[in-house]
Amino acid sequence: MSFSTSGTFRPVILDDIRGAQKMLAGVARMTAMEGSRHLSQLVGAPVHLKCENLQRTGSFKLRGAYVRISGLSPVERAAGVVAASAGNHAQGVALASSLLGVRSIVFMPMGAPLPKVAATREYGAEVRLHGQVIDETLAAAQEYAHETGAVFIHPFDHPDIIAGQGTVGLEILEQCPEVRTIVVGIGGGGLAAGIAVAVKAVRPDVKLIGVQAEGAAAYPPSLAAGYPVSIDAPSTMADGIKVGRPGDVPFKIIGDLIDEVRTVSEDELSSAVLLCLERAKLVVEPAGASPVAALLSDPGAFQGPVVALLSGGNVDPLLLQRILRHGMAAAGRYLSLRLRLTDRPGALAALLGSLSVVDANVLDVSHVRTDPRLGLTEAEVELQLETKGPEHCELVAATLRDAGYRVMS
């Protein structure tokens, strides 16, 4: 499926993706397509969520990994496979290898979340922790492949990977034949490229929109330049699309077939994760929620029916806690205030009484009396409040000021 007789990569075509779909029968699930009333009202057209966060291993990555490893020769299988990943690709390679009876080594960064490390081991891979950043981990995996002859399974830069991921596109067309716009997150580009090949071959009228995090947006400058461009130190909470350079194989496909690439902010990503949890009852990682973030940022820009692809749900619980708090703050539902009051008996109780009048829920209180910045009779209070939105935040702050409190932040 992957190579021409000259040994170079040949283009990925619809027949490759259809072949991958047959190969994945009984392996990858056809994940659910759920309607979203809230997003539909916001966009002004039907919006559906393609739930790859409910795929085996928690993301779409199993599809491409299984197709890639299935295509190995008996000699290559005997040598085993090696991969580098902080999470989703690691778990996809681990499970695919176990299902195919192939030994797998997965290199993960030292700081990889413990649940992802544990899951990768449980799926059957030998995990080796190496490096503080993914580039160091990647180099270690490639060195291992060179030294041992194991086959390196790239997360996105291979035609078989792209063909496997493209099966998501065929499912979308089957589950929502009336679709007019598909929105998908882009990291290295394997998923978006596969979906683009599948969808444009069958329905060239469907608009395909890719989404990147602002702090890790390598595709806009690359598409402008006409070749893959690296960006320095990509930074985003969406580690699933935190890629500093587009893949060579998916780049040309995306340049030819993707209609538009948009970027979203960290606030929009966290708001999207919160919305998926509250409104759709779905746990989605930031990368998987990036299409929803794009809908939230500019809802009038999408022609419906729209399918937003939730590509993964593997998020560390501690990170999810921080993201949700960030999302609540971005939505005006979490307010942090610092103020000064007179240090006398009953002063704190009076302050909390003022907050109860405006129905602000106090999550945390920090009361400081000994600080050189404070006057002899002053105390400083830091409040963490749950509020009902931006207007309620303004009401809370105004009420405290009207009551004579000096609000610092």
DSSP-derived 3-state class of residue 22: helix
CA atoms within 13 A on the CB side of 135: 8
Going through 201-294 in order, the beta strands assigned E by DSSP cover: 207-213, 260-264
- Terminal-to-terminal C-alpha distance of the chain: 60
Q: Which residues does 141 contact at the CB level (< 8 Å), separation at least 6?
A: 82, 83, 84, 105, 106, 107, 152
- Please give the C-alpha separations between residue 359 and each of 356, 388, 399, in angstroms, as whole numbers: 5, 9, 11
For the CA atoms of 52, 241, 153, 131, the dihedral, rounded to the nearest 10 degrees, stands at -130
198 close to 251: Cβ distance less than 8 angstroms:
no
For the chain, give the longest Cα–Cα distance. 85
* Residue 388 known to be catalytic: no
DSSP-derived 3-state class of residue 20: helix
Q: Which residues pair with 48 in a beta bridge?
A: 35, 307
3-state DSSP of 192-227: HHHHHHHHHHHCCCCEEEEEEEHHHCCHHHHHHHCC
Q: Which of 50, 61, 116, 200 is catalytic?
A: 61
155 close to 190: Cβ distance less than 8 angstroms:
yes
What one-character-per-residue DSSP string does 309-357 give? Answer: EE-B----HHHHHHHHHHHHHHTT-EEEEEEEEE-STTHHHHHHHHHHH
Identify the CA nearest to 68 among candidates 81, 59, 79.
81
* Residue 61 known to be catalytic: yes
Whether the ω angle into residue 305 lies within 30 degrees of 0, i.e. cis, is: yes
Q: Which of 97, 270, 290, 311 is catalytic?
A: 311
- For residue 150, what is the DSSP state? P
Q: Is 233 left (phi over 0), alpha (psi -120 to 50) or beta?
A: left
* Catalytic residue IDs: 61, 311
